[in-house]
Chains A and B, each alone.
Chain A
Amino acid sequence: MTDASELYQSLILDHNRAPRNFRAMEQPDRSAEGYNPLCGDQLKVWLKLDGDRIADVSFQGSGCAISKASASLMTTAVKGKTLAEAGKMFDSFHRMVTGAGGPADDLPSKLAVFAGVREFPARVKCASLAWHALSTAMQTPATAPPGATGS
């Protein structure tokens, strides 16, 4: 790939400009931070659960277009899914951006816009930062007291 617009597809640019679910969450059930020491990008992911289903998910942070759009699209993809389904989605997404497998059929089609990332090894971490934070959050109960997570 030598054309920037193949990587930066309009869906990515749209979610970079206007990220969805870009807000802190009051009284989350789970949360986790993702940090890329290579570039300094950081974000935080919050989850509200209904049983083992993701009732609400949000994120905040600073990062490049790839990491921000990936976080935004991730929130729209996992909302309403069970923790197990979201975990499987993460695995498929990870395989797709690292080139470990073909386009994953079990992924929502809009996440396929990140397939091009596999040709940019330096950017794989950007695309997967939010997913790693989500994965951590799903495994870690939130410890912060209510109202203290909005910073």
Chain B
Amino acid sequence: MTATHPGTVAASGLDVARLRHEFPVLRAVINGRPLAYLDNGATSQKPRAVVEAESDFALLENANVHRGVHTLSQRATARYDAVREQVRRFLNAATADEIVFTSGTTAAINLVAQSYGRAVLRPGDEILLSEMEHHSNIVPWQLVAEAVGARIRAIPVTADGELDLAAVPGLLTDRTRIVAITHVSNVLGTVNPVRQIADLAHAAGAVVLVDGAQGVPHLRVDVRALGADFYVASAHKMYGPTGVGFLYGRLALLEAMPPWQGGGGMIQTVSFEGTTYAPVPARFEAGTPPVCQVVGLGAALEYLGQLDWAAVEHHEADLLRYAVERVGTVPGVRFIGTARERVGVLSFVLEGIHPHDVGTVLDLHGVAVRASHHCAQPLMRRFGVSGTVRASFALYNTRAEVDQLVGGLLEARKVFGA
């Protein structure tokens, strides 16, 4: 069964109806209603071009990379390395050697924590995070901090859901070695002033890791303009496949870092007396990489590259504005996160109704949202809630889907007699 949403010509001039055509799942019917997929912060849908690139590769061109002298393996290697160059361009990195493929954002952060972190951290050193971090930008640092006797500190979040910049200079000390912050909050949608924080961190002698998982789907990223020493993201939140992501690391830093995981593909020579390691980025890509998914990531980058980004940004900003306005009319709604600079995400609670229950009623209304702590429990505690309802948007969402969300919220109030 399929259904279409009316009103898909956006004010930005972006032909959303045509875009949606490339994402067949968006025509699904869920519980008798057209699907309104507003859980893009968890994972975005994938356009045909991405799925077909993966499928074609797997069916017609599959081979391992960096192994064989045979033609298919050489072709696969060329494809794989070409995507590395695509990611370099996407992030405006200086060289493709600065791009390491990982299984995702989480693996990339763990790589930096276990390799860079273990190499530089001494007992009493400090890692500065923020109160709005996803657990995946907290726990890897706790693991290394525990192992080396380092200390975790956190930049507080204001009532609006912004980083409290006034607190940053006081939190940066001569022991701060690493500052790890998110580009865009997965709960609040806040776009953090990364450059400003990076300048402060660098002046204090620390390096900066930026969690770009929620940034790359919405923003045009320039790692050098941001002042990021490390920038990490996942393909599956930016219209690509699951199981692949990337780490950007400044070349001088990557080259000085010891390997994290050992295995095939990351060595120069191996003997029982000792092993020498491959240069970066191969040093950090032990084992057979997710070749097929990297090909899919390449297709996603190509897909993003042919879009009119000014129109996309205009459309997404319009959607968020419209959602704030319309959801704000529902009695009992309290927004969590009202930062001046936001993209893609709207979080709120509905007075007297647990987010989980709101999520179930919305699901019965065909609306897919996330209702939980969003893997950000410190932030939930900051706002005194156990969880929120989060609607997160992608370039293919429409005002009609926002209206459907509002209809579902009114239904939830009715069911619960609120």
Interface residues of B (CB under 8 A from A): 31-32, 353-357, 360-361, 364, 371-373, 377, 380, 386-387, 411-412, 415-417
Contacts and interface: CB of A to CB of B under 8 A. Distances in A.
Contacts of A62: 386
A70 B227 CA distance: 51
A120 B357 CA distance: 11
B386 A41 contact: yes
Nearest to A7: B360
Given A38-B372, A40-B372, A62-B386, A123 B417 contact: no
A5 B416 CA distance: 9
A151 interface: no
A64 interface: yes
A123 to B, nearest CB: 6
B412 A126 contact: no
Contacts of A38: 372
A24 B364 CA distance: 35
Interface in A64-100: 64-66, 68
Nearest to A42: B386
Given A64-B354, A64-B356, 12 more contacts: A1-B364, A3-B364, A4-B360, A5-B415, A39-B371, A39-B386, A40-B380, A40-B387, A41-B386, A62-B386, A65-B357, A65-B416
A65 B354 contact: yes
Contacts of A65: 353-354, 357, 416
Contacts of A109: none
A131 to B, nearest CB: 17
Contact of A2 (B32, B372, B415): B32
28 contacts: A2-B31, A4-B361, A4-B364, A4-B412, A4-B415, A5-B415, A7-B360, A7-B364, A8-B361, A8-B416, A13-B415, A13-B416, A13-B417, A38-B372, A39-B356, A39-B371, A39-B373, A39-B386, A40-B386, A63-B354, A64-B356, A64-B357, A65-B416, A66-B356, A66-B357, A120-B360, A122-B360, A123-B360
A93 B46 CA distance: 40
Interface of A: 1-5, 7-8, 13, 38-41, 62-66, 68, 120, 122-123, 126
Nearest to B354: A64
B13 to A, nearest CB: 36
A123 B377 CA distance: 20
B372 A39 contact: yes
Contacts of B417: 13
A64 B361 CA distance: 12
Given A40-B372, A40-B377, A40-B387, A2 B364 contact: yes
A1 B30 CA distance: 11
B373 A40 contact: yes
A122 B39 CA distance: 16
A38 B354 CA distance: 14
Contact of B356 (A4, A5, A13, A123): A123
Contacts of A2: 31-32, 364
Given A38-B372, A40-B386, A62-B386, A4 B411 contact: yes
Contacts of A1: 364
A5 B415 CA distance: 6
A3 B355 CA distance: 18
Contacts of B353: 65
A95 B157 CA distance: 44
Across the A-B interface, the 8 shortest Cβ-Cβ residue pairs: A64-B356, A64-B354, A2-B31, A40-B373, A4-B361, A4-B415, A65-B357, A64-B357
A2 B361 CA distance: 9
Contacts of B377: 40
A4 B361 CA distance: 6
B120 to A, nearest CB: 32
Nearest to A62: B386
Contacts of A3: 364
A7 B354 CA distance: 15
Contacts of B387: 39-40
A50 to B, nearest CB: 34
Contacts of B32: 2
A1 B29 CA distance: 14
A4 B356 CA distance: 13
Contacts of B354: 63-65, 68
Contacts of A4: 360-361, 364, 411-412, 415
Contacts of A40: 372-373, 377, 380, 386-387
A127 B148 CA distance: 42
